[in-house]
């Protein structure tokens, strides 16, 4: 079985400050982890993924995520937030060792960046 | 632009009716996924097709059905509609069934059942 949790429904941050959106996961085998962003009235858009290798993954729009196997976490980060980063962020996991082809998505975290 | 298209963008209908949502995947993608997004349930996986065949089923009601055609476009049919079926319906596509492939989402169809 696979699951993912996004413990915060909403994250507030001031423009220019660093941001972190949290994600923890549970899979039987090796995790494939994904972050997606959804802007208002739009579909989800792929940001980045972790398959294997370097624990720090860089993605689109200056976002990065850190894979931590011992803490089963894959937090999304950005050094300096922009107002335009305000959106809904989804973490997703797939079991890379077999099992479901279908990713499990978290419930999403609303990021609000204040000017 | 993800390359995935969905029509219509908005759909307003009455309870008991039947509607069809259409999706064209990104060029070259063989897998199509359907999701339902609502405020209380989040993003729910409904069903996946790969190259015309059903590959995986999620929380899809018996009143709902889908198919993928030879040209790889897909349709989601929703019948005997209820108020609770009001939601955003997304289609996504990916290259195949490899688990590390990311998905590309369409803009969605907003269904309102009155």
Shortest distance, CA B112 to any CA of chain A (angstroms): 15
Q: How far apart are CA A16 and CA A63, in angstroms?
A: 14
Q: Measure in Å the smallest separation between the Cα of A15 and chain B Cα atoms.
A: 26
| pLDDT score for A82 | 97
Of the candidates A100, A90, A32, the one whose C-alpha atom is nearest the C-alpha of residue B90 is A90
pLDDT above 80: residue A4: yes
Could you tell me the pLDDT band of residue B59, with boundaries at 50, 70 and 90?
Answer: confident
Which residue from B minimizes the CA distance to A40? B107
Q: If you write DSSP's letter for every residue of chain B in order, what string do you get?
A: --S-EEE-SEEEE-TT--EEEEEEPPTT--EEEEEEEETTTEEEEEEEEETTEEEEE-S--TTEEEEE-TTS-EEEEE-S--GGG-EEEEEEEESSS-TTPPPEE---EEEEE-
Which of A42, A46, A96 lies nearest to residue B102, judging by beta carbons? Answer: A46
In chain A, residues with a C-beta closer than 8 Å to the C-beta of B99 are 32, 94-96, 101
A101: which residues sit within 8 A by CB, 6+ positions away? A94, B48, B55, B56, B97, B99
Closest CA to A77 of A21, A13, A17: A21
Instruction: List, for residues A63-105, the tens digit of each pLDDT value.
Output: 999 999 999 999 999 999 999 999 999 999 988 776 667 889 9
Asked if the Cβ–Cβ distance from B103 to A103 is below 8 Å, we say: yes
């Amino acid at each position: 079985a696979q699951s993912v949790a996004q413990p915060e429904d909403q994250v507030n941050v001031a423009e220019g400050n660093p941001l972190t959106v949290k994600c923890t996961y549970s899979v039987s085998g090796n995790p494939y982890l994904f972050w997606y962003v959804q802007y208002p009235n739009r579909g989800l858009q792929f940001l980045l993924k972790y398959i294997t290798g370097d624990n720090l993954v860089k993605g689109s729009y200056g976002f990065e995520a850190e894979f931590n196997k011992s803490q089963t976490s894959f937090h999304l980060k950005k050094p300096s937030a922009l107002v335009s980063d305000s959106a809904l962020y989804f973490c997703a996991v797939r079991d890379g060792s077999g099992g479901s082809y279908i990713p499990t998505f978290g419930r999403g975290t609303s990021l609000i960046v204040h000017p | 632009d993800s390359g995935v298209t969905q029509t219509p963008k908005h759909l307003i209908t009455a309870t008991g009716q039947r509607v069809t949502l259409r999706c064209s995947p990104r060029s070259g993608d063989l897998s199509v996924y359907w999701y339902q997004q609502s405020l209380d349930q989040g993003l729910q996986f409904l069903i996946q097709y790969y190259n015309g065949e059903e590959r995986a089923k999620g929380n899809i009601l018996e009143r709902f059905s889908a198919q993928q055609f030879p040209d790889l476009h897909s349709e989601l049919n929703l019948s005997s509609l209820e108020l609770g079926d009001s939601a955003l319906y997304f289609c996504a596509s990916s290259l195949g069934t490899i688990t590390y492939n990311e998905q590309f989402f369409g803009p969605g169809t907003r269904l309102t059942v009155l």
